[in-house]
Amino acid sequence: MKIRKNALAGIALAATATLGLAACGAGAATAPSSSAAAGGAVSGEITVYNAQHESLTKEWVDAFTAETGIKVTMRQGSDTEMSNQIIQEGQASPADVFLTENSPAMAQVENAGLFADVDKATVDQVPAEFRPSTNKWTGIAARSTVLVYDKAKLSEGQLPKSMLDLANPEWKGKWAASPSGADFQAIVASLLELKGEAATEAWLQGMKENFKAYKGNSTAMKAVNAGEVDAALIYHYYYYGDQAKTGENSKNVTPYYFKNQDPGAFVSVSGGGVLNSSKNAAAAQAFVKFITGKKGQEVLQKGTSFEYAIASGVPANEKLVPLAELQAPTVDPAKLNSAKVTELMTKAGLL
Ligand SMILES: [Fe+2]
């Protein structure tokens, strides 16, 4: 994933493409597709195995059903619960579409040979840096790693230059994370891809010494807010989501972005793909096309998920730091290895 140097160029291109379609009088959502997904050919029902946040996918589903009349049944689980279930069910899986929070579970299903190719019309509306080169699945949204910290306890000068510093002795007892979650494990998968196994093992050992475990990113952020720990390594949208509500779990918290291509500046790609066992592939492809299309991406821009829009030229929610400013490292989402991460984290006593 050639994140972010090319991100702006890609978004600009996608925007031009969308404008081009609109100028033809077709509009992006009804533009002809390369598959049977076009026009009135699509109908019926699909089942989505959803590991994305339920509220976000519900917004996509409602908008998709309103537009197409296709009924969508959602089954909810975590990234690896759902990927393991799909692999276990194989060709008999009732799933037509799989959506995740992070890339490793998508790579797992891809490696099991269970995804169909994503329709070209969908691929064309997602910049290359937000999808695997195989096009067996596509990015649908993105999220940034962030260190949320308590300003009363840490001055800017005391903040770590790199996520790797959190393994140093001066950070003992001072930071929180949710190691059992797919979000955190994606950060570790990126570290593994960027720095290799030995460096990842060493960092995880330091983490075990230094950090306090919480279940869930929200809980880790709450712990910072309540003064239990100085900082927490989470994803950005937990902070912005709380701020947009009452702010009661984040009023003492400030987000800090590592930038500088640091492993802690990792931007994780949420994935969407169509199972090759789908009994209604046209409708399944149409759904993935819809969520990466203008209307689907505007749900990210204007809704309450605070995840990044990445496709169809739709800009990020204006409250967020633009993706292009995050200086994320270049990571190929297809290479994130969840099995190795689980092994290393178990070995370090984190799982
Ligand atoms: Fe999450």
CATH of the domain at 102: 3.40.190.10
- Say how many Å lie between the CA of residue 53 and the centre of ligand 1: 7
Q: With respect to residue 1, please indicate whether it lies within any of the assigned structural domains.
A: no
pLDDT band at 167 (very low <50, low <70, confident <90, very high): very high
- Say how many Å lie between the CA of residue 38 and the centre of ligand 1: 32
Q: With respect to residue 230, please indicate whether it lies within any of the assigned structural domains.
A: yes
Q: Are both 257 and 299 inside the same structural domain?
A: no
- Say how many Å lie between the CA of residue 174 and the centre of ligand 1: 22
- Say how many Å lie between the CA of residue 217 and the centre of ligand 1: 7
Q: Are both 162 and 129 inside the same structural domain?
A: no
pTM of this structure: 0.88
What is the distance between the alpha carbons of residues 56 and 86, in angstroms, rounded to a whole number?
21
- Say how many Å lie between the CA of residue 300 and the centre of ligand 1: 14
pLDDT per position as a tens digit, 85-112: 999 999 999 999 999 999 999 999 999 9
Average pLDDT over residues 200-220: 98
Residue 162, phi-psi category: left (phi > 0), alpha (psi -120 to 50), beta (remainder):
beta
Q: Are both 99 and 38 inside the same structural domain?
A: yes
Average pLDDT over residues 134-147: 97
What is the distance between the alpha carbons of residues 220 and 278, in angstroms, rounded to a whole number?
38
- Say how many Å lie between the CA of residue 172 and the centre of ligand 1: 25
- Say how many Å lie between the CA of residue 183 and the centre of ligand 1: 6
CA distances from 279 to 91, 224, 247, 260, 282 (A): 10, 47, 44, 45, 9
Q: Are both 203 and 214 inside the same structural domain?
A: yes
pLDDT given at position 219: 98
- Say how many Å lie between the CA of residue 27 and the centre of ligand 1: 32
- Say how many Å lie between the CA of residue 50 and the centre of ligand 1: 12
Q: Is 350 helix (H, G, I), strand (E, B) or coil?
A: coil
- Say how many Å lie between the CA of residue 22 and the centre of ligand 1: 34
Q: Are both 153 and 228 inside the same structural domain?
A: yes
What is the distance between the alpha carbons of residues 306 and 113, in angstroms, rounded to a whole number?
32
- Say how many Å lie between the CA of residue 39 and the centre of ligand 1: 34
Q: Are both 75 and 15 inside the same structural domain?
A: yes
**CA angle, residues 138, 140, 146, in degrees to nearest 5:** 115
For residues 150 and 253, the answer to whether their CB atoms sit within 8 Å is: yes
- Say how many Å lie between the CA of residue 234 and the centre of ligand 1: 9
pLDDT per position as a tens digit, 30-53: 333 434 444 456 899 999 999 999
Q: With respect to residue 329, please indicate whether it lies within any of the assigned structural domains.
A: no
- Say how many Å lie between the CA of residue 144 and the centre of ligand 1: 11
- Say how many Å lie between the CA of residue 63 and the centre of ligand 1: 22
pLDDT given at position 40: 53
For residues 119 and 33, the answer to whether their CB atoms sit within 8 Å is: yes
- Say how many Å lie between the CA of residue 143 and the centre of ligand 1: 9
What is the distance between the alpha carbons of residues 326 and 55, in angstroms, rounded to a whole number?
26
- Say how many Å lie between the CA of residue 165 and the centre of ligand 1: 24
Give the containing element (helix H, strand E) for 217. Answer: helix 217-225
Q: Are both 133 and 151 inside the same structural domain?
A: no
11 pLDDT higher than 50? no
Output the six-digit token pair for 308: 């990044």
Long-range contacts (CB closer than 8 Å, 24 or more residues apart) made by 61-69 = 63/290, 63/295, 63/296, 63/299, 64/286, 64/287, 64/290, 64/291, 64/296, 67/29, 67/290, 67/295, 68/42, 68/43, 68/283, 68/286, 68/290, 69/43
- Say how many Å lie between the CA of residue 101 and the centre of ligand 1: 6
Number of domains in the chain: 2
Q: Are both 101 and 123 inside the same structural domain?
A: yes
What are the two backbone dihedrals, phi and then psi, of residue 214, each rounded to the nearest 5 degrees? -130, 155
Q: Are both 240 and 280 inside the same structural domain?
A: no
Q: Are both 133 and 167 inside the same structural domain?
A: no
What is the distance between the alpha carbons of residues 203 and 191, in angstroms, rounded to a whole number?
9
Average pLDDT over residues 64-78: 98
Q: Are both 231 and 118 inside the same structural domain?
A: no
Rg over CA atoms, the chain: 20
pLDDT given at position 38: 45
The domain of 285 spans 8-142+267-320
- Say how many Å lie between the CA of residue 36 and the centre of ligand 1: 33
